[in-house]
Amino acid sequence: MAPTSPRFSSEEVTVVFFLGGPGSGKGTQSANLVKDYGFVHLSAGDLLRAEQLREGSQYGAMIKSYITEGKISPSTSFPTRCATRSTPTPAPGTKARFLIDGFPRKLDQAVFFEQTVCPSELVLFLDCPEDVMEARLLKRGETSGRDDDNAESIRKRFRTFVETSMPVVDDFEAKGKVVKVQATGSVEDVYAEVKKGIEERGVHAR
Ligand code: ADP
Ligand code: C5P
Ligand code: MG
């Protein structure tokens, strides 16, 4: 296969991957980061759910099955294409920032993205024990309407996270790219630690 080079360089755009187990608080903290740091937020899960619900989607049934079973779709499939399709439009004099939430969840997704779109600047990782995540997800399930916020899907998602997604975090950790934050405190406390972690890596509010 011909060697590929990423479409954007780290000089042109800043990409932060936002990882953590299901229910660790990625979506919640993303809203804060968008407000204070000017990130464009892309959630792979949100994109998948939107496609699942889109009338006439040929992927709807397949996505529902992946989501209910807590399985990660392959690198060539929909979430990767969504994440790779967006075109950054930075304001003059500023560098566009992308916060990619819940992606990459599999090593092949990480390799594919960094080879074809842009190398990541850092990986923000929310570290949270399963009992805390489970309680949050069951509570969220009272109102979320999500197909996967139930005890059985949660168990499957935890397993996928440990077996498939933690190796991605470990791989980035070995490259010195991970900012790890304990996610058990209040939303405000976690955000304070998130801010501290990314500021130490040179990402400042704008
Ligand atoms: P993720 O995107 O990582 O799956 P969410 O941000 O959707 O997680 O959070 C999961 C649930 O937990 C949501 O209902 C959210 O309101 C709640 N939540 C998020 N962060 C905290 C926190 N620090 N303390 C308590 N509940 C939280
Ligand atoms: O991040 P979120 O919890 O919203 O993801 C929901 C589901 O979407 C995952 O459990 C998985 O089935 C699917 N997904 C995926 N690939 C990703 C992100 C999410 O297949 N990169
Ligand atoms: Mg989320």
| Ligand 1 contact via 136 beta carbon (within 6 Å) | yes
pTM: 0.95
| Ligand 2 contact via 48 beta carbon (within 6 Å) | yes
pLDDT for residue 165: 98
User: Residues 6 or more apart from 164 whose CB is under 8 A from it?
Assistant: 72, 105, 106
Q: Minimum mean pLDDT among 24-33, 67-76, 96-105, 185-194: which range?
A: 67-76
pLDDT tier at 74, thresholds 50, 70, 90: confident
- Residue 47 CA to residue 68 CA, distance in Å, equals 15
pLDDT for residue 112: 87
- Closest ligand (CA of 165): 2
Using the 8-state DSSP alphabet, how is residue 13 labeled?
E
User: Is the per-residue pLDDT at 78 higher than 90?
Assistant: no
pLDDT for residue 8: 85
- Residue 158: closest CA among 128, 185, 186, 191: 128
Atom 25 in ligand 1: residue holding the nearest Cα: 186
- Residue 60 CA to residue 65 CA, distance in Å, equals 9
Average pLDDT value for the chain: 91
Other CB atoms within 10 A of residue 81 CB = 11
pLDDT for residue 70: 97
DSSP per residue, 76-101: TSHHHHHHHH----PPTTS-EEEEEE
Pairwise pLDDT comparison (110 vs 83), residue with the higher score: 110
38-53 as b/e, with b when 16 or more CB fall inside 10 Å? bbebbbbbbbbbebbe
| Ligand 2 contact via 158 beta carbon (within 6 Å) | no
Domain extents in the chain: 13-200
| Ligand 1 contact via 23 beta carbon (within 6 Å) | yes
State phi, psi for 73 to the nearest 5 degrees.
-75, 155
Answer whether CATH 3.20.10.10 is correct for domain 13-200: no
Instruction: For residue 91, give the amino acid letter.
Output: A
